[in-house]
Each structure stands twice: as structure tokens, then as C-alpha cells.
């Protein structure tokens, strides 16, 4: 039964029993404590916690899950995926233990032709929490099984909680005995309270039923908690592993071989020339590849992009492990463009975003592989040298410094170093490495503090505010003020003076400077005083009411007691006003073109530039982008009046003003900025132009994705916008000059040229191949006689992997029939060495193997390779010993068959 059918039957079974069918939520949990959704119940948490009331009493779902802690088990056990799907049924204060047991048991034991899974009753073992007599008798009643068949397990297996005070309860797992091939015999009556590890693959856990009945007041560990009472409403939460049931119903050895996963293994076999099932170590790699390719694709599909921490790091690690595992199987080519589409084609039948969003998904994945290949290229040699040095000196540990250098200089993540070290039989001083990492982090933090001023410590600012009251803030009224310093800080502490060249912070009684907020950057400008001048580097409001200028003393010495003159750079400010008003215009235009659901999720603007992030799942079409730009330009031309007013939040809402994500407003008075009356109304504290025409121009320069359901529009305003267009005009002028054509004909002309180039390249390629293969007759004729074997060992400088293979196959075909023949061609192109060996039947009958020959010469070429007996391929990076490698081929042939 294929996975799709199991999914369908599961949902149909529970739907028929009155459950609402709820679609899978995204893998990205809407929960600060979880990196990813790791169980079917996660999207229902607010209902179980009583924070929200569900619309239904019963629900069912098949939820996408990611479990990163299981990554080490992947491929080693038969049953752990980093990605898998969990089928679940949920009762919110409706049916309880008996209902849950009955529903589960009916589905798994009902015959296949009646819509069930038809699992053999004799192989099924329900488990309960030790002493849960109620569950034992219910299992006996529902299933008719004798008590001996019901296994009692301890808290570790069969007590569920969220790890925090709140709901908890005993579980019942349903175990399936896969027979003696998967573990030793056992006696169910003496099993427990822990499940022995050696039985976990044999007694496969397929379903877990959680009976949420207790109120927990403290949870210290999985098996140490306090039950303070019972829940007023008892709930059911269950999880059945779709992939695990599929492996049983499809008669497979493990979950990586089921219909939606095996294709990747098959493809990997084809690419590596290795056979799945031939070697236990290789098999783990094949399974890791199948798992990781799928998991990373699903993660990218839900908006994760590779990064160095959090979700992004999990994705990076999965992608890299997949690529590395392919290398360890002997394939050094780009692998994801071949492997991932295989997974997409099967998973896409359920999750069609994989098909519709494929251009983005594939781009993210392939770019990461390319980046990783570069990392490997530069770092592997350094690693190898370091490892060799350690071994030479008789050591077994790679030092923390080495691991750190690999990380710091070559971007080698520590897990990669750990993995490669383990393969080389070494350990790594991980603690030393972590120590160095921590030091580096401290240094970075100190740097950041020095740059930004000591905003970390708000107590100092609180003191200033208490003493002097709030800063009189005049950014809306004026660009210059006479002001009195209230406090001068150096390195976060109060001081009397700042000397020339020093950086410090300055708090004034009144200021015209705009402090960074609402997406608008801080004003730039100067603060002058008798005998000196300060540059304003940054302006922040570290606590409400207090404006702090970060300044550098350009001339003279700042004395805390002296009057100063604060002056915002007027050019800067007009640029900032244009950009901020431009942001509102683009936002309104966006909503006009895309509809009111397109809502800003963040923004940033500085003189000349703006960007606006908004919630939207698809990329915009070029036409939509043009429309947004045009609506914006029309708004500028219409010279709409810009005005602002203070009002209560309720009034603002009534007015239809848009309050933006993440900003907090006083509930007494808010500022609403409007452009063209109701056309654009937003809650905003920024500085704006008076009329929209003053924005000058709005030129949209880009539209991109910024992860999970967010897009970003970027635009240039004012003079910057004009400058951008002028640059483009210059490029067009240069191109028309070079191509001697008119602007309107440019595109056609360039298209024509690239077409012709393609044709010419193809011709060239044909000619090159003909020339290469032309040599093959001569090579075959000149074959050397080594004992009974005809040997062609040839070097083909300038030939890459594909050519080398073609040539080798062609020469083999031209060797005399009926005589043993061996061909080995070693080519080198672009710093890569490629070797292909081919044998004929007679040579193989004499014990000559292409795979062995490639393996033998691999180390000389600074690489590896291998493959089957008839044809094998490998590569390396060292071209200096090709002749030696060819000589080795001849002597190997002589040794084996001579
Ligand atoms: P195990 O002990 O085998 O790791 P678990 O106790 O972690 O399983 P639960 O948290 O109870 O599993 O999850 C419910 C069901 O989800 C399990 O019964 C199993 O069928 C499935 N499941 C759990 N983890 C995985 C995984 N990593 N890959 C595939 N299926 C899984
Ligand atoms: Mg587990």
C-alpha cells in the first residue's frame, strides 16, 4: 500500500468518526520554544493548554514534522527520519482512553479490502504505563487480547508532558513485532519498565496514544515530576508514524526504502556506481542521503534558508551531510540537481508548493551546495595536512586551534571537522575549540559595544532621565537648536570632558536630531561649540523619553558645562524625509496593486533608499512590479498633501490607519501620517515631506524573497533615483555603441548573438569530440601487450571527465575481440584530474577490475574513486603524478594477470 493511500485511509477513518480534517501546518512552529514542529499536536497546543477554544471537539491531521535530535539515528536505526509525517487524532474534552484505543485498533487491524491496514493481531503488542490498570483493562476489553500481551513500560517511554508545568498524562504505544530478523526473542510479561535497546527495531513503535489527564505543577525531567491534580477536561493526542506504517505495509526493511524515499537511493546508486545493500557502511550513507535530501527540501519549501544558527544551521547541516555522504560514496559532482528532483516528484504529489515554488527551492539548495563545494575545496587540503601532521607525531587528537582555524578561515563547521576527523581515526579537542569560539564571541561583543556605545546598561540612562526629565525633542519643528549638555558619557560612564578624537555619548536638554526608529535611520549632523565641533555618528533612544547622541570629537575638547549648538545636516534630512514618505507611498501602491492583504512587516529607510518587507507568499510578476512603480509615480505627480495629526488609537483605527507589526504605541496619543487624505494613513513617528512631489522620484530596483512568506521591495528616492536611471541610460548608450544598433533593437540583437554563440559552441564541441575520438583508433592500435592483456594507458591533457569517459569507452570497443583488454585514460582540465578505467569480459575473467584500478591510482592523483568491475571513474586534484599513475596501471595489470 503506498504512502498516499495510508494517509488517505487514516484521514477517512477519522473523518467518518466525526473528526474535522485539518491540513498540515508549516514546519516552522509558531512557538518560541520550538525550532520546528516535531509532532502532530504542536499546532493544537493552544487548545490543549486551554488558551484558545477549538471550533471542534475532534480533529485529525497528517502533520509534517522535523526532529533534529534524531539526526544521529538516521540510517543506523530502521525507523528515524529527520523529516517524517505524523498522522494524529485529537479529542478536546470529548472521547478519552476507550475511544482512542478503539479508533486506533480498528484502523490498524481492519482488513485491507475493508479500508484498514490489516496488521496481524498476533504481532501487535499494546504498551501502557506501569500500573495504568484502567488502560490495561480497556485494551483487553477492546482487543480481546490476554493481559500477558500488554507490555508495561515506565515513565521514560510512556509518560508524556511538555517539559513544563501544565498538562501531562500516561501513554499507550502500539508496538509491532517484526520478527527474529530484527532483534532477539522476548517475553512480554517480563519486558519493562525500560524497553531494551536491542528490541527497539524489532518491536517497532508505530503509534503513540497520549491520555492527557493530569495537571503537573513541576517537571524536573522526563521521569521526575509532580502531579498536582487532574485536568477538568481530558484530552487525547495521538501520533502514528506514516513512514513507519508504510515500511510495514510495503514489506521494507526500513523507512528509507518506502515508496516516497527509495527513489533517491536508486538515483544515488546510479550516480556513484555503488550498490545499495552491498556494504553496511555505504548503506548508512545511502539512507542518510535519502533522508537529508528530503528533509532539506521540505525545510526550504517552508521558507528556511541556510544560515549559521537556528533553523538555518539545521538546514545547512542537512544539505552538507547529504553532499558529503555522496562524496564518501565516490561521487564528487554536483549532486543536488540530480537527487532533489527525484524527491520533489514524489513529495510534490502531497505538497504541491514543492512543484510551484521549485525555482526558488532549487536555487536555494543548489547555491548552498556550490558554496559548500568551494569550502570543501579550500579546506579539505588544510584538514588533510593537519590530520597527517597529527598522525606523523603519533598523536590522535586534532587541536582546538586547528579546528578553530578551519572554522574561522575556511568556514568549516565544527561538525564537519568532527566527522572528517572521525573518518581519519582522530578525535578533536572540542572543548578547546569551544573555548576559542567563546573568546571570539566576546571580542566581537566588545567591538560592537565600543562602536554602538554602551546601550546595554540602561541604569545609567535611567539615572539621567530621573535627574533631568525627558529630552525636549524638536525633530518635527526645527533643524537647529541651542542646547545644554545634561550628561557626557565615555565607555558608558559619566565624565566631564571628551578630548579631540574621542568617541562618547551626549545627552542634551533639547535636540533637533531624529533618533533611529520606525525604520528611519538616525539623523546625521554636527554639534558645535565655542572652540570645537562634534560629528553625530548615531542617535538612539535607549529608554523612552531620552535621546542619546553618539558623537566623535572632531575639533577641540567637549566640556560638559558648556552650551552647544546642535545642527542636523539639512541635505541628509531632506533625503530621509523623501525616503520615509516614499516608503508610505510604495506601501499604499502595493496595496492598491496586490490588494489589502499585502501588509508591511518591516521597513528601513535612509536618504535615497528604502526597503519594505511585506507578507506575501509568491514572487511578484514583472508587470506587478511595474504597476507598483507606476502607481507610486502617479501619486508623486498628483502632488498629494502630506499631513499628520495626533489622536487616540481608537480614532486612528476608525480612520483606517495602518498600525505596523512590532511597533508599540501609547494608548493615549498616536501620530497618524496621511498622504492624499485616506489614500495612505499610517501610524508613524517619522519625518516626512510636505507634498508628495517633493519625494522626487520612486524607482523600484528589486523585489526578492526574505524567507517564510515575506517579500521585500527596494526602491530609490530623490536624487539617488535619478542617478540610478542615468546609470542605466549610460549602459544602454554604451551597448548601442558597441553593438551598433538602436536602443529598441538591443534585446533582439543580444538574443541573436547568444543564439549564434550557442550554435557555435555546439559546433566546436562536436569538432573537439571528433578530434578526441579520432585518436582512439590509433590508441587501440598502439595498445601495449602486458602478458596476455592488451593495455592502453593514456594521458589526455585538456580532457574533462565526460570526454575521458567517452574516449575510454570508444577505445575499449576498438580493442581486438576475444582478447583481454584494459583501458585507463587520465585526463586533466581546469585543475581537475579525471580517471576512467574500462575492462572487457576477458580481462575481468582474469581478475582485472576497473574499480580496483581506479582505487589503486586514486591516491597518486590526490583523490579517490571507484566503481564497478567493468567501468569505473574517479578524480583528484594533483596532475603532477599522472605518468606515475599510468605506469602503476601497467604494473598492476602485470601483477594480477601477467
Ligand atoms: P522512538 O522512541 O521510536 O524514537 P518516539 O517515542 O520518539 O519514537 P513519539 O514522540 O511518540 O515517538 O511520536 C509518535 C510517533 O511518531 C511514533 O510512534 C513513531 O511512529 C513516529 N516517529 C517518531 N519519531 C520519528 C522519526 N524520527 N521518524 C519517523 N517516525 C517517527
Ligand atoms: Mg524519538
Mutate to test the pocket of ligand 1, among 84, 195, 248 (most ligand atoms within 8 A of CB): 84
Scan for cell 549559521, then name that residue: 308
The whole-number average pLDDT for the span 712-721 is 94
Report yes or no on whether pTM surpasses 0.85.
no
Mutate to test the pocket of ligand 1, among 34, 38, 82, 86 (most ligand atoms within 8 A of CB): 86
Mutate to test the pocket of ligand 1, among 3, 34, 79, 294 (most ligand atoms within 8 A of CB): 79
Instruction: Say how many Å lie between the CA of residue 70 and the centre of ligand 2.
Output: 7
The whole-number average pLDDT for the span 185-205 is 91
489 Cβ contact list (under 8 Å, min separation 6): 453, 454, 460, 495, 504, 505, 506, 507
Sheet holding 564-568, edge to edge: 480-483, 564-568, 525-529, 532-543, 546-555, 503-508, 485-490, 493-495
In this structure, the residues whose C-beta lies within 6 A of any atom of ligand 1 are 39, 67, 70, 79-81, 84, 86, 205-208, 239-241, 243-244
Helix (H), strand (E) at residue 62: strand 58-66
Cell of 737: 555603441
- How does DSSP classify residue 192? -
Alpha-carbon distances of 46 from 42, 43, 53, 57, rounded to whole Å: 9, 8, 8, 14
Q: How many whole angstroms separate alpha carbon 703 and alpha carbon 700?
A: 8
* Separate counts of helices (H) and strands (E) for the chain: 25, 36
Q: What is residue 447's predicted lDDT score, i.e. its pLDDT?
A: 55
113 Cβ contact list (under 8 Å, min separation 6): none
Ligand nearest to the CA of 85: 1
Angle at 866 between CA 860 and CA 871, to 5 degrees: 115
Alpha-carbon distances of 485 from 536, 541, 628, rounded to whole Å: 14, 16, 46
Residue % of the chain over a pLDDT of 70:
97
The residues that bridge with 872 in the sheet, in sequence order, are 837, 867
Mean residue pLDDT of the chain comes to: 90
- What is the per-residue pLDDT across 652-677, written as a single tens digit (0 to 9) for each? 877 877 765 334 444 557 899 999 99
Atom 6 (ligand 1) nearest CA: 157
Ligand nearest to the CA of 82: 1
Cell of 701: 530596483
Q: How many whole angstroms separate alpha carbon 486 and alpha carbon 547?
A: 11
Instruction: Say how many Å lie between the CA of residue 103 and the centre of ligand 1.
Output: 19
The residues that bridge with 59 in the sheet, in sequence order, are 20, 90
Lowest mean pLDDT across 262-271, 301-310, 632-641? 301-310
Ligand nearest to the CA of 160: 1
Instruction: Say how many Å lie between the CA of residue 78 and the centre of ligand 1.
Output: 12
Atom 31 (ligand 1) nearest CA: 241
Q: How many whole angstroms separate alpha carbon 302 and alpha carbon 30?
A: 13
Instruction: Say how many Å lie between the CA of residue 178 and the centre of ligand 2.
Output: 18
- What is the per-residue pLDDT across 231-275, written as a single tens digit (0 to 9) for each? 988 999 999 999 999 999 999 999 999 999 999 999 999 999 999
Ranges of H-type helices in 427-508: 430-452, 458-468
Q: What is residue 326's predicted lDDT score, i.e. its pLDDT?
A: 95
Cell of 324: 558529503
Q: What is residue 772's predicted lDDT score, i.e. its pLDDT?
A: 76
Q: Are strands 151-153 and 124-129 parallel, antiparallel or unpaired?
A: parallel
For the chain, the straight-line distance linking the first and the last C-alpha, in angstroms and rounded, comes to 54
- Evaluate if residue 897 carries a pLDDT over 90: no
Strand, coil or helix: 733: helix
Q: What is residue 667's predicted lDDT score, i.e. its pLDDT?
A: 53
Q: Are 616 and 709 in contact (CB under 8 A)?
A: yes
110 Cβ contact list (under 8 Å, min separation 6): 116, 117, 118
Concatenated DSSP letters of 136-147: HHHHHHHH---G
Helix (H), strand (E) at residue 284: helix 280-301
Cell of 898: 601477467
Q: How many whole angstroms separate alpha carbon 268 and alpha carbon 326?
A: 7
Strand, coil or helix: 155: helix
Scan for cell 493481531, then name that residue: 121
Instruction: Say how many Å lie between the CA of residue 241 and the centre of ligand 1.
Output: 6
Angle at 143 between CA 137 and CA 147, to 5 degrees: 45
Instruction: Say how many Å lie between the CA of residue 121 and the centre of ligand 1.
Output: 21
SS (H, E, C) 677-694: HHHEEEECCCCCCCEHHH
With cut-offs at 50, 70 and 90, classify the pLDDT of residue 647.
confident
Ligand nearest to the CA of 255: 1
Instruction: Say how many Å lie between the CA of residue 80 and the centre of ligand 2.
Output: 8
Return the closest-CA partner of residue 515 out of 551, 559, 546. Answer: 546
Binding residues: 580, 584, 684, 688
The residues that bridge with 643 in the sheet, in sequence order, are 674
Q: Which atom of ligand 1 is nearest to the CA of 77?
A: 3
Ligand nearest to the CA of 205: 1
Mutate to test the pocket of ligand 1, among 78, 244, 258 (most ligand atoms within 8 A of CB): 244
Q: What is residue 51's predicted lDDT score, i.e. its pLDDT?
A: 82
Atom 16 (ligand 1) nearest CA: 241
Concatenated DSSP letters of 847-867: T--HHHHHHHHGGGGTEEEEE
With cut-offs at 50, 70 and 90, classify the pLDDT of residue 863.
confident
Q: Which atom of ligand 1 is nearest to the CA of 86?
A: 16
- Phi-psi label, residue 657: left if phi above 0, alpha if psi -120 to 50, beta otherwise: beta
Cell of 247: 515500511
CA atoms within 13 A on the CB side of 786: 26
Q: What is residue 322's predicted lDDT score, i.e. its pLDDT?
A: 95
Q: How many whole angstroms separate alpha carbon 786 and alpha carbon 156?
A: 67
Q: How many whole angstroms separate alpha carbon 849 and alpha carbon 865?
A: 13
Q: Are strands 166-177 and 159-161 parallel, antiparallel or unpaired?
A: antiparallel
Strand, coil or helix: 238: strand
Alpha-carbon distances of 796 from 789, 860, 879, rounded to whole Å: 22, 17, 11
Alpha-carbon distances of 301 from 22, 40, 61, 457, rounded to whole Å: 20, 19, 19, 41
- Evaluate if residue 442 carries a pLDDT over 80: no
Q: How many whole angstroms separate alpha carbon 673 and alpha carbon 679?
A: 11
Q: Which atom of ligand 1 is nearest to the CA of 171?
A: 11
Q: How many whole angstroms separate alpha carbon 511 and alpha carbon 566?
A: 7
Instruction: Say how many Å lie between the CA of residue 589 and the centre of ligand 1.
Output: 48
Helix (H), strand (E) at residue 820: strand 820-829
With cut-offs at 50, 70 and 90, classify the pLDDT of residue 451.
very low
> How many Cβ atoms from other residues are within 10 Å of residue 284's Cβ?
16
Atom 22 (ligand 1) nearest CA: 241
> How many Cβ atoms from other residues are within 10 Å of residue 316's Cβ?
22
Strand, coil or helix: 720: helix
With cut-offs at 50, 70 and 90, classify the pLDDT of residue 445.
low
Return the closest-CA partner of residue 207 out of 178, 162, 237. Answer: 237
Strand, coil or helix: 884: helix
Binding residues for Zn(2+): 580, 584, 684, 688
Q: How many whole angstroms separate alpha carbon 678 and alpha carbon 580?
A: 18
Instruction: Say how many Å lie between the CA of residue 244 and the centre of ligand 1.
Output: 9
- What is the per-residue pLDDT across 378-435, written as a single tens digit (0 to 9) for each? 788 888 888 998 888 888 899 998 898 888 777 787 878 888 898 888 999 888 888 8
- What is the per-residue pLDDT across 827-857, written as a single tens digit (0 to 9) for each? 998 888 999 999 999 999 999 999 999 999 9
Cell of 129: 504505563
- What is the per-residue pLDDT across 92-147, written as a single tens digit (0 to 9) for each? 999 999 999 999 999 999 999 999 999 999 999 999 999 999 999 999 999 999 99
Q: Are 509 and 472 in contact (CB under 8 A)?
A: yes
Atom 11 (ligand 1) nearest CA: 208
Mutate to test the pocket of ligand 1, among 208, 242, 247, 298 (most ligand atoms within 8 A of CB): 208
For the ranges 172-176, 555-559, 614-618, the one whose mean pLDDT is highest: 172-176
For the ranges 463-467, 603-607, 695-699, the one whose mean pLDDT is highest: 695-699
Ranges of H-type helices in 672-745: 718-739
Burial bucket for residue 770 (CB in 10 Å: 0-12, 13-18, 19+): exposed
The C-alpha torsion from 367 through 368 and 374 to 376, rounded to 10°, is: -150
Q: How many whole angstroms separate alpha carbon 646 and alpha carbon 661?
A: 20
Atom 14 (ligand 1) nearest CA: 239
Q: Are 40 and 87 in contact (CB under 8 A)?
A: yes
Q: What is residue 446's predicted lDDT score, i.e. its pLDDT?
A: 61
Amino acid at each position: 500500500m503506498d504512502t498516499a493511500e495510508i494517509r488517505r485511509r487514516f484521514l477517512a477513518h477519522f473523518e467518518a468518526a466525526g473528526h474535522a480534517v485539518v491540513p498540515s501546518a508549516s514546519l516552522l512552529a509558531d512557538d518560541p520554544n520550538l525550532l520546528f514542529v516535531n509532532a502532530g499536536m504542536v499546532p493544537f497546543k493552544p487548545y490543549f493548554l486551554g488558551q484558545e477554544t477549538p471550533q471542534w471537539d475532534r480533529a485529525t491531521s497528517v502533520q509534517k514534522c522535523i526532529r533534529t535530535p534524531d539526526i544521529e539515528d538516521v540510517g543506523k536505526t530502521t525507523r528515524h527520519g529527520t523529516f517524517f509525517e505524523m498522522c494524529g487524532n485529537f479529542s478536546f474534552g470529548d472521547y478519552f482512553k476507550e475511544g482512542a484505543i478503539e479508533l486506533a485498533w480498528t484502523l490498524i487491524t481492519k482488513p485491507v479490502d475493508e479500508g484498514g491496514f490489516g496488521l496481524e493481531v498476533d504481532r501487535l503488542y499494546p504498551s501502557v504505563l506501569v500500573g495504568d490498570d484502567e488502560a490495561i483493562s480497556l485494551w483487553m476489553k477492546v482487543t480481546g487480547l490476554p493481559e500477558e500481551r500488554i507490555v508495561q513500560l515506565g515513565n521514560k517511554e510512556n509518560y508524556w508532558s511538555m517539559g513544563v508545568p501544565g498538562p501531562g498524562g500516561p501513554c499507550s504505544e502500539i508496538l509491532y513485532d517484526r520478527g527474529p530478523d530484527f532483534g532477539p526473542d522476548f517475553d512480554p510479561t517480563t519486558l519493562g519498565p525500560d524497553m531494551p535497546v536491542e528490541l527497539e527495531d524489532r518491536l517497532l513503535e508505530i503509534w503513540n496514544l497520549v491520555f492527557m489527564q493530569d495537571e503537573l505543577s513541576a517537571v524536573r525531567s522526563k521521569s521526575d515530576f509532580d502531579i498536582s491534580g487532574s485536568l477538568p477536561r481530558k484530552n487525547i493526542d495521538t501520533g502514528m508514524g506514516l513512514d513507519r506504517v508504510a515500511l510495514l505495509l510495503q514489506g521494507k526493511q526500513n523507512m528509507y526504502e518506502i515508496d516516497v524515499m527509495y527513489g533517491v537511493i536508486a538515483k544515488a546508486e546510479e550516480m556513484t556506481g555503488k550498490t545499495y545493500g552491498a556494504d553496511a557502511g555505504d548503506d548508512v550513507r545511502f539512507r542518510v542521503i535519502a533522508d537529508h535530501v528530503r528533509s532539506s527540501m521540505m525545510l526550504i519549501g517552508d521558507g528556511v534558508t541556510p544560515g549559521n544558527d537556528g533553523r538555518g544551521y539545521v538546514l545547512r547541516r542537512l544539505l552538507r551531510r547529504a553532499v558529503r555522504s555522496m562524496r564518501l560514496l565516490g561521487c564528487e559532482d554536483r549532486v543536488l540537481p540530480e537527487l532533489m528532483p527525484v524527491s520533489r516528484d514524489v513529495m510534490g504529489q502531497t505538497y504541491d508548493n514543492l512543484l510551484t515554488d521549485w525555482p526558488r527551492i532549487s536555487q536555494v539548495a543548489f547555491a548552498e551546495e556550490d558554496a559548500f563545494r568551494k569550502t570543501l575545496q579550500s579546506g579539505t587540503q588544510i584538514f588533510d595536512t593537519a590530520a597527517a601532521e597529527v598522525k606523523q607525531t603519533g598523536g590522535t587528537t586534532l587541536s582546538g586551534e586547528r579546528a578553530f582555524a578551519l572554522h574561522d578561515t575556511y568556514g568549516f563547521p565544527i561538525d564537519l571537522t568532527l566527522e572528517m576527523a572521525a573518518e581519519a581515526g582522530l578525535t578533536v579537542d572540542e572543548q578547546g575549540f569551544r573555548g576559542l569560539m567563546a573568546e571570539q564571541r566576546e571580542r566581537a561583543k566588545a567591538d560592537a559595544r565600543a562602536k554602538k556605545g554602551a546601550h546595554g546598561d540602561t541604569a545609567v540612562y535611567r539615572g539621567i532621565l530621573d535627574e533631568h526629565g525627558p529630552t525636549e525633542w524638536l525633530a518635527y519643528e526645527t533643524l537647529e537648536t541651542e542646547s545644554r549638555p545634561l550628561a557626557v558619557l565615555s565607555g558608558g560612564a559619566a565624565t566631564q570632558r571628551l578630548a579631540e578624537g574621542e568617541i562618547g555619548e551626549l545627552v542634551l536638554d533639547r535636540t533637533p536630531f531624529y533618533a533611529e526608529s520606525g525604520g528611519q535611520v538616525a539623523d546625521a549632523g554636527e554639534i558645535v561649540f565655542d572652540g570645537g565641533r562634534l560629528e553625530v555618528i548615531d542617535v538612539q533612544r535607549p529608554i523612552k523619553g531620552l535621546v542619546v547622541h553618539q558623537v566623535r570629537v572632531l575639533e577641540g575638547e567637549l566640556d560638559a558645562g558648556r552650551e552647544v549648538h546642535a545642527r542636523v545636516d539639512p541635505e541628509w534630512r531632506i533625503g530621509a524625509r523623501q525616503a520615509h514618505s516614499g516608503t508610505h507611498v510604495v506601501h499604499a501602491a502595493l496595496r492598491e496593486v496586490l490588494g489589502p492583504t499585502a501588509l508591511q512587516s518591516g521597513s528601513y529607510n535612509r536618504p535615497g533608499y528604502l526597503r519594505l518587507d511585506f507578507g506575501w507568499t509568491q514572487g511578484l510578476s514583472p508587470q506587478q512590479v511595474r504597476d507598483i512603480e507606476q502607481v507610486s509615480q502617479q501619486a508623486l505627480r498628483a502632488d498629494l498633501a502630506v499631513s499628520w495629526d495626533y489622536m487616540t488609537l481608537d480614532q486612528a483605527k476608525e480612520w483606517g490607519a495602518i498600525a505596523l507589526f512590532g511597533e508599540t504605541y501609547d494608548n493615549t496619543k498616536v501620530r497618524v501620517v496621511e498622504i492624499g487624505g485616506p489614500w495612505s494613513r499610517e501610524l508613524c513617528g517619522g519625518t516626512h515631506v510636505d507634498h508628495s512631489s517633493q519625494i522626487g522620484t520612486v524607482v523600484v530596483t528589486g523585489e526578492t524573497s526574505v524567507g517564510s512568506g515575506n517579500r521585500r521591495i527596494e526602491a530609490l528616492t530623490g536624487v539617488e533615483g535619478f542617478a540610478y536611471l542615468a546609470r542605466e541610460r549610460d549602459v544602454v548608450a554604451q551597448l548601442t555603441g558597441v553593438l551598433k544598433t538602436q536602443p529598441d533593437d538591443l534585446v533582439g540583437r543580444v538574443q541573436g548573438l547568444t543564439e549564434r554563440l550557442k550554435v557555435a559552441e555546439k559546433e566546436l564541441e562536436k569538432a573537439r569530440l571528433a578530434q578526441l575520438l579520432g585518436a582512439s583508433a590509433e590508441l587501440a592500435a598502439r595498445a601495449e601487450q602486458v602478458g596476455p592483456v592488451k593495455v592502453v594507458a593514456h594521458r589526455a591533457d585538456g580532457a574533462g571527465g565526460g570526454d575521458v569517459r567517452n574516449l575510454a569507452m570508444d577505445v575499449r570497443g576498438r580493442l581486438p575481440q576475444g582478447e583481454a583488454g584494459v583501458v585507463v585514460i587520465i585526463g586533466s582540465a581546469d585543475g581537475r584530474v579525471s580517471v576512467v578505467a574500462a575492462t572487457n569480459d576477458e580481462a575481468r575473467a582474469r581478475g582485472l577490475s576497473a574499480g580496483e584500478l581506479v582505487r589503486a591510482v586514486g591516491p597518486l592523483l590526490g583523490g579517490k574513486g571507484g566503481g564497478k568491475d567493468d567501468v569505473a571513474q574517479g578524480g583528484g586534484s594533483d596532475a603532477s603524478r599522472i605518468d606515475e599513475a599510468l605506469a602503476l596501471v601497467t604494473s598492476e595489470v602485470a601483477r594480477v594477470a601477467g
